Structure 1
Amino acid sequence: MSASRFRKIALGLPGAVEGAHQGHADFRAGKRIFATLGYPDANWGMVKLTPEQQAVLVEAEPDIFRPVPGGWGKHGSTNVRLAKASATTLRSALTQAWSNVAPKPKPASRRRG
């Protein structure tokens, strides 16, 4: 997996936009970050998962996923080793991360008539 492929998959999610955060490319749904590239270096990406989602991925694919060191990792921020991730695996992780932060549709209001 390359950084450009990570970017393409992330930006393919509904409403996703690219920005920058602390010198790294980030990907947002609404105003919330769901993924970044280049942390801790160019070989890695990050997806913002729940701690439960993180535990499942780290256990299933420890060569690909690891908790971000420190407090962010304890809250679900998960590094992705780009060279080891397949497009299918990365798409699944990015979709979970996007779903965690994407704005939820508002229920349709009912009109009284």
Structure 2
Amino acid sequence: MATGNDLRRMALALEGTTEAPHFDRAAFKVARTYVTLAADGRSANFKFTPDEQEFKCMMAPDAFAPIANAWGRQGWTTATLARLGAAELKSALEMAWAHALPKKKPRR
């Protein structure tokens, strides 16, 4: 059973991650935000690709659900932290974090 403190600790351990306020949530980002943590620490919103979102929701429907708006159609996915183990949380964080890394400039 994961907690908001687990998410914060694991996210900040990922290279380049910083934490900043985001409305009533805490946002974790590198070049872009990849996860936000609810103020009560019970849920988090992850930025996945739509395919990753579909996979996570299919594999753990009790833990993951698309956000019910246009953000959800872009891959933003809500997770109930208490329904995730540490390994599942780490996997979700690493997946979302990879999308937030700075884009590499092509070599000439």
TM-score (norm 1): 0.87
The structure with the larger Rg is 1
Which 4+ stretches in 1 moved above 6 angstroms? none
Question: Which residue does the alignment assign to 1:90?
Answer: 89
Whole-angstrom CA distance in 2 between matches of 1:103 and 1:5 = 25
Residue type at the aligned position of 1:84: R
1: CA distance, partners of 2:104 / 2:74 = 25
RMSD over aligned Cα, in angstroms? Answer: 1.6
Amino acid at match of 2:26: A
% same residue: 36
Letter matched to residue 59 of structure 1? M
Count of residues in Structure 1 that have an aligned counterpart in Structure 2? 107
Residue in 1 that maps onto 2:6:
5
Query: 1:35 matched to which residue of 2?
Result: 35
AA aligned opposite 1:38: A
Comparing both chains, which one has the higher relative contact order based on Cα–Cα distances under 8 Å and sequence gaps of 6 or more? 2
Gaps of 5+ in 1: none
Q: Deviations over 1:70-104 (max 9, x none)?
A: 11111100111110101110111111101012114
User: Normalising to structure 2: TM-score of the pair?
Assistant: 0.91
